[in-house]
Copies of this chain bind each other. A is one copy, B any other.
Amino acid sequence: MMYIGVDLGGTGIKAGVVTEKGEILSKGSTPTKNERPYAEIIADIAALCRRVVGEAGLTMDDVKAIGVGVPGICDPRTGVIPFCTNLGWHEVPFVDEMHKHIDLPVVVSNDATVAGYAESIAGVSAGTSSSVFVTLGTGVGGGVVIGGKPYSGAHGVGSEIGHMILQMDGEPCTCGNRGCFERYASATAIIREGRKAVEKHPESAIMARCGGKPERINAKTVIDCAKEGDETAKAVFDQYVKGLALGLVSIINILDPEVIVLGGGVSMAGAFLLDAVREAMKPYVFYKTMPYARVELAQLGADAGIIGAALLGRE
């Protein structure tokens, strides 16, 4: 049997037909146009599911279930999506709405949870039973896998790793708190600190690379300059790595997973980031002579959402 995985984003919807082992047979996408009523968006999701099944040379009878990764929180028991900021959704009866179009089991979960699950089945953490996926993007998302299953907590509000507190009374966060992990470990943090740094150090290579316009600085600008040895960029990067390392150590001290997987835009910095984070964690780990979670880069890239959502349907 096959599974359909849907990766629902604020700008685009991707879907694919996936085998039991996590291989994609066909995939497609359609714009979300998130200003529309949810019923229209969900009708488009259903149509996209039919299209990719057709393109795989299959019929809906070959499909066992549909899994959907959503950039918000989900109640897996009711199939309702209580909150999804990017889509402006509030209490959307997602599964019931899907059933108006397709008569197949539909399961929903958080997008980072789904991507982490994909990595744990078909990616860098394949074969492990516990892992934590950390997406380093505009914010910081989290996907926890425990006992080989995606873990989203008792009320569907877990895995919000970006909002564990790293600095009491620290940087104000979009969630209303201060000092959340994502204020220090997201691409947004690098941009914020990069812009601050060029104010003090206009001689930095960052300034040249952004054409003298600090508002053009992005995470890659800073990381590329750090790679090339620019002192100001290196200081910003080192501070970023410290915050990230401390957050990962907190995760280890609570969950002690086999693997921590880094994904999202900042993880594109590759070995430069990975080596720095691994090194920075060493002095912070509690039991210094005991083995602890290995830290790895995500492998599945943009397909993780489709694969993980599809595999969710296996459960």
CA of A161 to CA of B289, assembled, Å: 19
Residues in chain B near residue A168, CB distance under 8 A: 166-167, 170, 184, 242-243, 246
User: Which of A4-12, A31-39, A149-157, A225-233 lies at the interface?
Assistant: A149-157
What range describes how many residues of A lie at the interface? 35 or more
Residues of chain A in range 85-107 having any CB-CB distance to chain B below 8 Å: none
Given A147-B147, A175-B286, A154-B130 contact (CB < 8 Å): yes
A152 to B, closest residue via Cβ: B256
User: Which of A46-54, A247-255, A295-303 lies at the interface?
Assistant: A247-255
Interchain nearest-CB distance for A64 vs B (Å): 24
CA of A146 to CA of B149, assembled, Å: 12
The chain A residues found within 8 Å of chain B, CB to CB, are 73, 82-83, 128-130, 142, 144, 146-147, 151-161, 163-168, 170, 175-177, 184, 242-243, 246-247, 249-258, 283-284, 286-287, 289-293
The reply to whether A130 and B146 contact each other, CB–CB distance below 8 Å, is: no
Q: A144, A243, A252 — which one has the most chain B CB atoms within 10 A of its CB? A: A252
Residues in chain B near residue A175, CB distance under 8 A: 286
Q: A128, A152, A165, A292 — which one has the most chain B CB atoms within 10 A of its CB? A: A165
A154 partner, pick from B166, B184, B253, B293, beta carbons under 8 A: B293
Number of copies: 2
Given A166-B168, A168-B243, A159-B254 contact (CB < 8 Å): yes
Residues in chain B near residue A291, CB distance under 8 A: 155
A255 partner, pick from B82, B130, B153, B284, beta carbons under 8 A: B153
CA of A20 to CA of B247, assembled, Å: 39
CA of A129 to CA of B151, assembled, Å: 13
Supply 18 further A-B pairs (C-beta < 8 A) apart from A146-B147, A157-B287, A167-B167: A73-B287, A83-B287, A142-B254, A144-B255, A153-B255, A156-B290, A157-B253, A157-B290, A158-B252, A158-B253, A158-B256, A160-B254, A160-B286, A161-B254, A164-B250, A166-B168, A175-B286, A251-B254
CA of A27 to CA of B131, assembled, Å: 40
A175 to B, closest residue via Cβ: B286
CA of A159 to CA of B253, assembled, Å: 6
Between A and B, 5 residue pairs with Cβ closer than 8 Å are A73-B290, A83-B287, A156-B290, A157-B292, A159-B254
